[in-house]
Structure 1
Amino acid sequence: MNPILGGITRLRAAEGSPEPTPFEHFLKASGNFLPSPQARWCTQKMKLAEMEKFVGDEPTISYVGIRGDEEREGYVSTKPNIQAIFPFRKNIWSLDVINQFLSPKNAEKVRSIYLQVCPDNLVDPILKVLDTPLTRDFYYSKKLNALLDIDVKVFNKAVYEYLKTTDLPVGQLDEFPLIDNDDVLVKDDIFSILEDSGVGVPAYYKPVEFEVDGRKGTYSRSRSGCYFCFYQQKIEWIWLYEQHPDLFKKAMEFEKDGYTWNQHESLSELIKPERVRQIKLDAIKKQEAKKKQGDGTLLGQLDDDEELMCANCFI
């Protein structure tokens, strides 16, 4: 990427620390308290804080790679000079922008903007949606989806014109070509882009076959990120244990002082032979069920547990 982008600035948290890695620096600072779904200090301290520090007060657009088939918002900075954009989704704007745009206090301004950018044949249906007050039965997301369903590009143009009346970064641009894009990219689209570009799908996504009691299954990673990510599935821990034992050993070494990566189970307990066997059988059972439903593809297998993803790790 360096030759194409003209050089990449690499940020490293805890610069100058005597600890071998930023993670170990912050782990020590937190009293060996491992990160968890309830205390996700790892991404906040090692990635987000460094990015915000690097950006400073410069107007910045953060492009977030959440796909169109994912129901999550991801990281949105609280700093007013950093604006998140979601280019793969039908709605490319973050919730904070949508809340502003659809706020009753901005209703007249938004109505006026729409009349400027809207084709004549769409005026009536759009005004009908805009003039419908927000209620418990017709809340922000329903109003948003109603406007998107009428015309995504017109909606984007209206939001862009609204942003020009604010201090948000996109509003400071003379043009923003993404508003004319209404493509929604889902997982198979992303994988196709990787393959067609020559980059390829990361090897850790490729399924590896295993067998238990004559029954065959596969395992792999379902996410990018740290090898010891506490959001990964039990079968992913087994994949790490069997495919990358050195990394699994490092993850085990972090488990001390009563803190474990998984609730109610340490990694040393997880790799006991009978426990490994049971985890694999459970994975096989899931995969067989998905095949009966007609989705035995790699993409389908990776969908198993995505509801457990950490949004902040995928900005």
Structure 2
Amino acid sequence: MTDRHVLGLSGGKDSAALAIYMRDHHPELDIDYFFTDTGEELPEVHEFLGRLEGYLGKPIARLNPRRDFKFWLREYNHFLPSPQTRWCTRMLKLAPFEQWVRPWLAAGDKVSSYVAIRADEDYREGYSSKSDNLLVKLPFREAGIDKAGVIDILENSGVGYPKYYEWRSRSGCTFCFFQQKIEWVRLRDKHPKAYEAAKALEKDALEHGSPFTWSKGESLSDMEQPERVAEIEAEYEIRRARLRKSIPINPLRPVKVCPDDIDDIYGVDEGNGSCAVCHK
């Protein structure tokens, strides 16, 4: 029987900050870092993980699901995943993790899994363990580390942010349905091939009777029309200007935000109820 320690990385800022925090504050723990690759991640995510590996001084294990997104799309009758039916998280993120730790749990090892839920996220819950010897731990919540604290960790370490934060608010698949409409517009500008691939998946799903589009109430084909793009960009700028005026000035604690925190601009909780395993 062995005590094991694992920490999942999503490619986002919170889980990266937690990995840095655990390395710096708990060097006595031999932590296995892992990333579950769906095959549909942004290239900026892989670049950031490489940078993080350099700071951690050890490799990040890549857990690849045995079957890709298209396989599971067929298994689910070509119905796209949605906030109500998150089969992508279950099959492409959680299942590979459970398969990875299963031999350890079967051998009686105690596995501690560290999850990057912050102290200011009372509404979030961690992974629900199905095994008595798989323990979920929330170091940020225990240490009182909030969003500003996460930003401090990333900046002070020199690791910084993933480059996609210049135009996108979260990690995850290129076609994640939790994206805001401005993020879809930017995806088309930054990664047009990924946008076209998402359009093709959406078209296939609609032809097979799926009730969902990637963005609620609007197809990607409609969204990319010039007049619609202009509307989305104008609405975004109005919201951004409104947010800047509403930020209180506190000289004792300057407000720190990511390079472009779209969730704050849209006035919704970070991640908009999204899956912690994908976007933390």
TM-score for both structures, normalised by structure 1 = 0.59
Shift of 1:241: 1.1
Task: Classify 1:314/1:240 alpha carbon distance in 2 versus 1 (closer, same or farther; 3 Å).
Answer: closer
> Mapping of 1:90-239 within 5 angstroms?
92=142, 183-206=143-166, 220-239=167-186
- Residue 292 (1) aligns with residue 257 (2): no
| Distance of 1:74 and 1:283 partners within structure 2 | 31
| Distance of 1:264 and 1:302 partners within structure 2 | 19
Task: Give the aligned CA root-mean-square deviation in angstroms.
Answer: 2.3
In structure 1, the residue matched to 2:41 is: none
Shift of 1:298: 3.8
In structure 1, the residue matched to 2:205 is: 257
Shift of 1:231: 0.7
Shift of 1:277: 1.2
In structure 2, the residue matched to 1:175 is: none
| Distance of 1:47 and 1:5 partners within structure 2 | 24
Between the two structures, name the one with larger relative contact order (CA 8 Å, sep ≥ 6).
Answer: 2
TM-score for both structures, normalised by structure 2 = 0.66
Task: Classify 1:281/1:3 alpha carbon distance in 2 versus 1 (closer, same or farther; 3 Å).
Answer: closer
| Distance of 1:88 and 1:289 partners within structure 2 | 30
In structure 1, the residue matched to 2:73 is: 27
3-state secondary structure, aligned to 2:135: strand
| Distance of 1:2 and 1:288 partners within structure 2 | 38
- Which residue identity is paired with 1:47? K
Q: Is the 8 A contact 2:126 2:136 kept in 1?
A: no
3-state secondary structure, aligned to 1:84: strand
- Residue 72 (1) aligns with residue 32 (2): no
3-state secondary structure, aligned to 1:61: strand
In structure 2, the residue matched to 1:158 is: none
- Which residue identity is paired with 2:275? C
Q: Is the 8 A contact 1:64 1:314 kept in 2?
A: no
| Distance of 2:262 and 2:279 partners within structure 1 | 19
3-state secondary structure, aligned to 2:140: coil
- Which residue identity is paired with 1:285? I
- Which residue identity is paired with 1:286? R
3-state secondary structure, aligned to 2:113: strand
| Residues 120-178 of structure 1 deviation map (CA, whole Å, 9 limit, x = unaligned) | xxxxxxxxxxxxxxxxxxxxxxxxxxxxxxxxxxxxxxxxxxxxxxxxxxxxxxxxxxx
Shift of 1:301: 4.5
Q: Is the 8 A contact 1:68 1:185 kept in 2?
A: yes
| Distance of 1:200 and 1:79 partners within structure 2 | 35
- Residue 310 (1) aligns with residue 270 (2): no
Match for 1:274 among 207, 213, 227? 227
Shift of 1:308: 3.5
In structure 2, the residue matched to 1:168 is: none
Structure 2: segments with no counterpart, 5+ residues: 1-52, 249-254
Q: Is the 8 A contact 1:2 1:8 kept in 2?
A: no
Task: Classify 1:8/1:222 alpha carbon distance in 2 versus 1 (closer, same or farther; 3 Å).
Answer: closer
| Distance of 1:191 and 1:78 partners within structure 2 | 32
In structure 1, the residue matched to 2:94 is: 48
Larger Rg: 1
Match for 1:13 among 62, 65, 68? 65
Shift of 1:243: 1.7
Shift of 1:302: 4.1
Q: Is the 8 A contact 1:66 1:314 kept in 2?
A: no
| Residues 57-114 of structure 1 deviation map (CA, whole Å, 9 limit, x = unaligned) | 232111111222223113222332222111111xx4xxxxxxxxxxxxxxxxxxxxxx
| Distance of 2:201 and 2:221 partners within structure 1 | 12
In structure 2, the residue matched to 1:61 is: 112
In structure 2, the residue matched to 1:37 is: 83
- Which residue identity is paired with 2:179? Q
- Sequence identity of aligned pairs in percent? 41
- Which residue identity is paired with 1:23? F
3-state secondary structure, aligned to 1:10: strand
